Chain A
């Protein structure tokens, strides 16, 4: 079945560092990918829609200059958390729909746990 791979799975870094997270669709092409954030004991919150070859669309309240998204190919989207601070520590998850029709399910990566010291 369709697989979405996320890397890294875990990252710990100092405050002020920028962190890049990759999301790859391994056996299908994804013109659209989605980025979510999840804080402990909370549900997933959609951050942005990543569009291949064009600008990402951000949800209300998500800072586009803080969370840079690049979707340079049909199989790769990256999320860069710029100048990360402890409050950015969270579980970041990407997803991609597989298939050409709008009712196809999403496939999710296994998430990246980001800890900012």
Chain B
């Protein structure tokens, strides 16, 4: 049973435009949500996180929005750059540092 879902396996965006990656979850006990970025043949690297008590967190070009009532979060990348092309994983944490990951969205930023 997938508790964290990323329903879009892939996304293509023009350089300079906004990339929006979406994530849905089912478990209301999650207290933190994170986004990881993964390049081929490398491990995931942490990008940005948000507490369940917040609705927005911003770090440079990256902003994460959380809608608790809809159990939905999104990652906005503005402006998108070719170096952003990677697989993005959404993750959610339950108490005790157990993390549940989505299936990933492959982002391609077209120059």
Chain B binds chain A: no
| Residues of chain A whose beta carbon lies under 8 Å from any beta carbon of chain B | none
B residues bordering A, Cβ < 8 Å? Answer: none
